[in-house]
Structure 1
Amino acid sequence: MRLASVIEHYESALLQKYGARLLPEQRRAIAAIRHCRTNMAGEVLWQCGACSYSLLNPRSCGHRNCPQCQNHEASQWLDRQSRKLLPVEYFMVTFTLPAELRALALHHQKVVYSQLMTTSAQTLKSFSLNDKKLNGEIGLTSVLHTHTRRLDYHLHCHIIVSGGAVNRVKRQWRNSKGKYLFNGVALAKVFRARMLEALQAAGLQIPHSPEKWIVQCQSAGSGQSALKYLSKYLYRGVISEKQILNNKNGKVTFRYIESKRGESKIRTLPGADFLWLLLQHVLPKGFRRVRDYGFPHSNAKRLLQLVQLTLKVILETLKPRSRPSMCCPKCSAPMQFVQVFSPGWLSD
């Protein structure tokens, strides 16, 4: 079921119930998804180079929360990150913000989201530098998530970490040993102290939070499977249209996979509440959900060269994945882009 049709059905109810709480970016997301691949988004003119057949197609909105868009961008990101993987073990470290701070995060998204990503990365980097076995700089790829599989608001940060570090001075690479990279309890203590300090420095009034925060650290093998998992939620929003099962009697039912047992479950909500659930996960304008730290960073080419030298590996340079070509419905030859028409061009 198309999400756009659900928005059309319940937008007025959403505005009536949650209109005062909607942020500008959430309103833009609603409009983009509703108009995606319709004449309201504009049209694209294509022409066949073989038989000269012309075709007008509705334009995609390109919004990062639209389930119909940016599949190509997700594939490109996965290609880029996969190219950076080293022949070492990787770990997935998850930093979770306590429930007591979620309301604060919703009201100050840019500040809290940025501090969560920055502070969690700094915590891992400091542990690596101070670790007797590693004593060097690790590579990190951090991805911010705001949802559970039930789509509830649950702020956390997944970080793929290299199971080894490079020492610039000694020009040496050291692999981690054992099944665990760092102790999760120790990480959580340092993360909690640094995060609260950063939020206070930003001028935010911090509510009471538990003494025990949660940081999970687990093996991710070669790192490839972890990257594939994270790539699913970088673009196209937090739900696929295949998950939306039906829209009946003013309620929307969707399917999700329960994380602990891997069982398929369903959840039914009033239409306005369903839309509000999705809109809570719309990120602030310009906010980068994915960030690299250490040698995977685009500005750390010299450090990455040192890593390759010490590990005696050469990372393959891949050409950007090209977009799938549109085939002519008449002769099946590739069609060529001609022009983009803005919405309402016929009435101009």
Structure 2
Amino acid sequence: MRSTAWLVLPLLAIAPFYACAQGTPTDNVIPGNPQDGSVGGAGGEQGGGAGQAGGAGTQSNGGSQNQGGSAGTAGSAGTAAGGAAGSGGVAGGGGSSGAATGGTAGSGAGGGGTGGNNCTPPVPNAPCDTFPQCGCKAGESCDVNNAQTGMTQCGPTDDIPKGTVCQYNNSCAPGLSCVGLTCKPFCEKATDCSTSGADCIGVQYTQTDGGSGDVPAMKVCTDQCDPITSQGCGAGAGCYPIDDLNVKPGHSLCAKAGTSTTTCSPTVDCAPSYVCLSDNQCHKWCRSTVPTDCTGGQTCYQFQDNSTPPVVGFYYVGAQGFGVCG
């Protein structure tokens, strides 16, 4: 049974900064809808197993089920006593000169068994691992199914690709998870992410009291998408910076977007290329270095956060700063 995707992006509080009139900072949503799931969240904006590794036992001691062979019957007339197989592996092959059922003693103790697999779940007692994917049958993916514990499960997949809008856990292709209602790659560290400049960030979920909590051992890659064009995101998804103001190189994530280009609220999301600010209006993203991104006499403004004292600046994706037209 599938459950609706519950991992959502954390919220950012921002307001556009105008030289003459500053907006009043209030809690503001990027991308806009904190009700996209009953629980959820990723490390920066939003943002999660496999059989146990074989020990030296029935899974990996050598022999028929990888148990060490007993060296057969060992030839009684062999030049050696047909040593009992070593602690792992099958006993050496019998020789031709033994008068008994076994041949000449084996050439020595068999090599160790191949051992069990190296599939290590992210949390104890989980059945599969999210990265790298292992422990599930063909056609299934390993995904997190409990935000509080990080427990994983195998399940059928719809093979939805990276950056594309999703609705259910396990709906993304193997190796991806539905975070922010878009499919994102699992990872353990930044070098696991294939997109240039991407980071590996922790995932959060929304708690019953409205706060957020970390999903144990769950991380996904940032998308490094373009807020203006949403390049790197699928249809119906917008792109949103996730780092604090003026932090560079910066990172961004795809998240499900709405359709509004005017007003917005916690239940009305802005369309891709727009962001909902504290004035409850959808503002178009712009590059800090490209004046022509804003038309009709508008200017690309910086943001002001609600810290004390307030910070004024741009959000960055890589080395490129982004503001809003106004």
- TM-score normalised according to structure 2 size: 0.20
Task: Point out which structure has higher relative CO (alpha carbons under 8 A, 6+ apart).
Answer: 1
- TM-score normalised according to structure 1 size: 0.19
